[in-house]
Each structure stands twice: as C-alpha cells, then as structure tokens.
Amino acid sequence: EVQLVESGGDLVQPGRSLRISCAASGFTFDDYVMHWVRQPPGKGLEWVSAITWNSHTIDYADSVRGRFTISRDNAKHSLYLQMNSLRAEDTAFYYCAKGTGPYYGNFDSWGQGTLVTVSS
Amino acid sequence: EIVLTQSPGTLSLSPGERATLSCRASQSVTSSFLAWYQQKLGQAPRLLIYGASSRATGIPDRFSGSGSGTDFTLTISRLEPEDFAVYYCQHYGTSLYIFGQGTKLEIK
C-alpha cells in the first residue's frame, strides 16, 4: 500500500524559511515523479512543484518560482520542499503527491498534508 | 494559460439521484491527462478518473468520466451518502498542472 507522510509544517513569520518533508513507502520511489500540491484552508487546490524520478527535470508554479526548492533523496525514499521568503499567501496545507509515471501526468496517491501558517 | 472552469459551483442532490459535473477548458486539451479527484472534508484528495474516462484502482463503477477537447463530464450514476464531497478536475499540459476551482456536491 502506498503511504505518503508529510512533516515539518509550522507557524512561521513572513520572510522566514521552512523545510517540509514527505516520507514515502509501499512503492518503488525512484520510478515516479513526485509533486507538492497546496490548499489554503477552505479553498481549492494549487500545484506547487514537481521533480522527475532522476531529479533532472524540476518545475515550479509561477507563484513560488525563485522562492521554493524541491528535492528528493531516492535512497531515503523522501521528498522535500525548501520554502524561503515566505508570505502570508503561502499559508496552506501542503500535500505530497505521487505521479502516475516517471515524468508527468496526474496524481494517483496523496499524503494527508502538513499545515504551513505564515503569520506575524 | 489554460483555465479549467467547473460548474456548477454547488450541486444539491439526494442519495440515489444522478450527478453530472462539468469541467470546461479555455482551450482544447489532451484527454490523456484530464483527471477528476474527490475530496471529503478533512481528507486528502483521491484520484477517481484519469485519461478523462478511466477509473482509478478501487473506484466504484457508479463513477464515470467522459468528454474531449474542451468539455469534460464526471457522472455519478446513483449517489451514495459517501459521495457527497468536493470534486476537482485537473489537467497536465503546456500550462503544467492546472486544477479547476471545484464543485461541491451536497445533500439536498
């Protein structure tokens, strides 16, 4: 069974940094593209970033490009999101999601999310 | 940039009824990467349909997807109490990964 467990969400002041993580199990992690998708409380879904199985291709939403960095450690079956220069509008549940293949497509498994709150 | 517009915003129906949810793209999109997700309150989204019409693993056959080009539909043939949730369409393409704004399916 696929399991994705996010961690690291916290209350952080605007302009500060935070790194969140996702521990994956139940599938061959290095066969799949991985994503971060976020959802402000009570609002809709927004894709944030993707990283291919070999980390050779990385994409970001315009809203986070230049501030967020996605990475993965296939040996540790883990996905990360380094978030810098955080803004109030970054407040959201951040979900780790598994892609349907090594490069692109849809999201076939999701974690339960970790809450990042940006506020002074 | 492609925009996905879902309608209606809220759909009020009773268990046993048929639900029809719409997702319209601002320009023609590839059906291969059109998906539907269900999100229940307090839970993560769950993949229901991929490739516009293929059911994901474990999804009951009362859920079906159809459409092509700019117009896509998610149909729930006979609503069960557990089907009341928010539904999102999503596409991968030149605009990368885009979600619709969601349709809330509520009990009438």
Q: Best mutation site among A36, A57, A107, A112 for testing chain B: the one with the most B CBs within 10 Å?
A: A107
Q: What are the residues whose beta carbons fall under 8 Å from the beta carbon of A62, sequence distance 6 or more?
A: none
**Contact list, B43 vs chain A (CB under 8 Å):** 112
In angstroms, rounded to a whole number, what is the distance separating the alpha carbons of residues A110 and B44? 6
Residue A98, chain B, CB below 8 Å: the answer is: no
Count of other CB atoms within 10 angstroms of residue B84 = 20
Residue A103, chain B, CB below 8 Å: the answer is: no
Average pLDDT over residues A88-103: 95
Q: Are A106 and B65 in contact (CB under 8 A)?
A: no
| pLDDT of A17 above 90 | yes
Residue A30, chain B, CB below 8 Å: the answer is: no
In angstroms, rounded to a whole number, what is the distance separating the alpha carbons of residues A89 and B54? 35
pLDDT attached to residue B95:
64
**Contact list, B5 vs chain A (CB under 8 Å):** none
**Contact list, B39 vs chain A (CB under 8 Å):** 45
Residue pLDDT, tens place only, A59-79: 999 999 999 999 999 999 999
pLDDT attached to residue A81:
98
Q: What is the dihedral of CA A43, A81, B34, A2, to 10 degrees?
A: -100
Is-cis flag, bond preceding A41, omega within 30? no
Q: Are B56 and B49 in contact (CB under 8 A)?
A: yes
Distance from CA of A110 to the nearest CA of B (A): 6
Residue pLDDT, tens place only, B46-98: 999 999 999 999 999 999 999 999 999 999 999 999 999 999 999 988 768 99
Distance from CA of A30 to the nearest CA of B (A): 21
CB spacing of A108 vs B101 below 8 angstroms: no
Distance of alpha carbon B50 from its chain centroid, rounded?
A: 10
Residue type, B20: T
- Average pLDDT of chain A to the nearest whole number: 96
Nearest to B70 by CA among B31, B30, B27: B27
Average pLDDT over residues A36-48: 97
In angstroms, rounded to a whole number, what is the distance separating the alpha carbons of residues B61 and B80? 12
Distance from CA of A66 to the nearest CA of B (A): 17
| pLDDT of B26 above 80 | yes
Q: Where are the beta strands (DSSP E) in B1-108?
A: 4-7, 10-13, 19-29, 34-39, 46-50, 54-55, 63-76, 86-93, 96-99, 103-107
Average pLDDT over residues A111-115: 98
CB spacing of A61 vs B96 below 8 angstroms: yes
Residue A115, chain B, CB below 8 Å: the answer is: no
